[in-house]
Each structure stands twice: as structure tokens, then as C-alpha cells.
Amino acid sequence: MQSDIARRGVAAALGLTLALAPMSLRAEELTGTLKKVKDANAIVIGYRDASVPFSYLGADQKPIGYAMDICYKIADAVKAKLNLPNLEVKLNPVTSATRIPLMANGTIDLECGSTTNNAEREKQVWFTNSHFLTATRYVSKKSANLHTIEDLKGKTVVSTSGTTNIKQINEANTERKLGLTILPAKDHAEAFLMVETGRAAAFVMDDVLLASLAASSKDPSAYEISTEALSKPEPYGIMLRKDDTEFKKVADDATAKLYTSPEGKALYDKWFTKTIPPRNINLNLPMSAEMKKQFTTPISSPDPAAY
């Protein structure tokens, strides 16, 4: 009888152990960023102070922007995953020089800006699903009716010295026999001024930079950006720590859910086709065909050919 009681006691203890096992295993399974966030009850977002419209300071000097809104969605997903309703979201400024080191050393958990996801960077950090695809296009005056690359034949165009963009327009000029006169400018402002004053018919550069320059000009309605691109898309992504599969899955699930929902398109329109604070400029940059595809089937590839 005593042996029966003992057996029942052992069985009960074993049953209790098995019942508790999944909970303890789940706790032990937390690694990397998720463990760091849970232990600190805080997630740290790295932000840029002047990367319009991705991450920049608003009128109250607090960071706002398209990438910031996405990062807050990821933070909400982490909060739900870890069951931490009072999770603190901390903000930490970063620059182009500090963003990767601060991610690698654990200072920030997400980097929210306009960071290009490429093969070289993927050796140091990872990215969640791409939130923007930039490409080399040109801005011109609407009155010039320059809609395609072929329309530029025989024209004078400008691009900024030392950029991949000026290299690309030189290559296109040779390959397509466009007969262009290509002027180098010392910076973006000088290049845009050449179009403004009629010294050049078009300025070749990353489309989102062109949109910002046109929107900030004296007469934004006078300019248009070409739909045809001179390059493959370059993906921007929210940066994560390298080799953190568990955290990347949470971020990928959250961003995929956002992008494929009507809220994703609305979020894009909010920052790229409507007036944005604090200066009430409008970038007038509708979704490209590649962006529509990316929001339908989100990926985080660093390869431009994947888009």
C-alpha cells in the first residue's frame, strides 16, 4: 500500500514537472534582444534627427516619421510577445556613423530611419522587411514634359559629384546613345538650383531626396519626378541585431501584418503623399510598382534584383 502511495506521489510529481516544463522552457528559450528587453522591461529605439520623412524631429523636438511609426508597431508586437503591458519605449539618437556600432554593442534594439539594407551591412547587422525602396530617377520642370529617360536625349542634366547616381547617368548616356551633357554639382542643393534656374533640364539622384528638394522649393507644383528609374530598387529596412532569429521573427511578423493591411498603404500615404509636419511640405511620391509588390509580399532581402 505504501508503495502504491509512493508510486502515486512520484506520478503526481512527474505530472506537475511535465505540466510546468513548457513554461520553464519558454522562459529559458528567450535569448538575444527579447531577453534583454524582458530583463530591462524596456526597448530602445534609435532615431535620426533629420531624415525626412523617415525619422526626424517635429515641432516639439521629439522624433516623428514613417520609420518611427513602423518601429512603434514592432515595439507593440514585442510587448504582446513578452506579455509586458507596461513595456517602456526609450528613444536614443543615432547618426549614420554611430547607428551600426550602437546596434552591435546593445545600446539600441531597433534603428528607425533610412538605412539601406545591403550585402555589406548584413555582415554586421540584420534588417526586418524593407519599408521603402529608393531608386535613381530625375526631377525636372513639369513644363519640360520629360517623362522617360529617352525624353532626355540631347539635354543638359546634372547630378552630384562622387555619387553612384552620376555614374549611372553616364553609363545610361553611353549605352543608350542619349547625347547628354552631364554637369557635376558640388552638392544636392546646387544641382537642384541648376534645374530651378534652367541651367539643366533634369537632376539625377535618389528619388526620395529629389522629392524632399522639390517639396521644399519655392513652387513645389512646378516639378515632377520620373516614373522610369535608372537603377534597381535599393531597400531601406529597420535595423536589428545580427543572428537574432527570435527577435527578427517578431519584427518580420509585425511588419508583414502592417504592410499587407490597408493600414500599411495609409501609413505610406500619410508620409509620402500628404502634407507632413512641421513645415507642411508634401513629398508627392506615390507608391512605385516595386513598393506595391513589396507591400503585397514583404521581404527583407538586401539584393536589389529581388524587388
Residues 51 and 100 in one domain: yes
User: By the 8 A CB rule, do 234 and 134 touch?
Assistant: yes
Q: How far apart are CA 215 and CA 186, in angstroms?
A: 21
Residue span of the structural domain in which 53 resides: 32-132+233-304
Question: Tens digit of pLDDT per residue, the chain (307 long)?
Answer: 545 544 555 444 445 444 444 444 355 589 999 999 999 999 999 999 999 999 999 999 999 999 999 999 999 999 999 999 999 999 999 999 999 999 999 999 999 999 999 999 999 999 999 999 999 999 999 999 999 999 999 999 999 999 989 999 999 999 999 999 999 999 999 999 999 999 999 999 999 999 999 999 999 999 999 999 999 999 999 999 999 999 999 999 999 999 999 999 999 999 999 999 999 999 999 999 999 999 999 999 999 999 9
**What's the pLDDT at 18?**
45
My answer on whether omega of the bond before 93 falls inside 30° of 0, hence cis, is: no
Domain final residue pick, 223, 257, 290? 223
Considering the domain architecture, whether residues 125 and 238 belong to the same structural domain is answered as: yes
Distance, C-alpha 26 to centroid of its chain = 31
* Inside any domain, residue 2: no
Residues 272 and 163 in one domain: no
Q: Are residues 98 and 182 in the same domain?
A: no
Give the pLDDT confidence score for residue 29 in this predicted structure. Answer: 84
Regarding whether 139 and 127 lie in a shared domain, the answer is no
Task: Dump pLDDT digits (tens) for 86-100.
Answer: 999 999 999 999 999
Assess if residue 12 is contained within a domain: no
User: How long a stretch of residues is the chain?
Assistant: 307
Q: In the prediction, which pLDDT does 220 show?
A: 96
Both 158 and 145 in one domain: the answer is yes
Listed residues 162, 190, 223: the one ending a domain = 223
**Are 127 and 237 in a shared domain?**
yes
- Of 114, 129, 135, the C-alpha closest to 204 is 135
Q: Is residue 97 part of a domain?
A: yes
Residues 47 and 84 in one domain: yes
Domain count within the chain: 2
Which of 223, 255, 284 represents a domain boundary (last residue)?
A: 223
Residue 63, domain member (yes or no): yes
Any idea what the CATH number is for the domain that residue 294 is in?
3.40.190.10
Show Cβ contacts of residue 266 under 8 Å, excluding neighbours closer than 6 positions: none
Q: Which among 87, 98, 69 has a CA at the least distance from the CA of 33?
A: 87
β-pair type (132-134, 55-57): unpaired
The answer on 197 and 50 residing in a single domain is: no
Integer CA distances (angstroms), 185 to 166, 195, 207, in order: 10, 11, 17
The three cell numbers of residue 143 are 513644363
Answer whether residue 11 is part of any domain.
Answer: no
Of 55, 33, 41, the closest CA to residue 89 belongs to 41
> 266 and 254: one domain?
yes
What's the whole-model pTM score?
Answer: 0.84
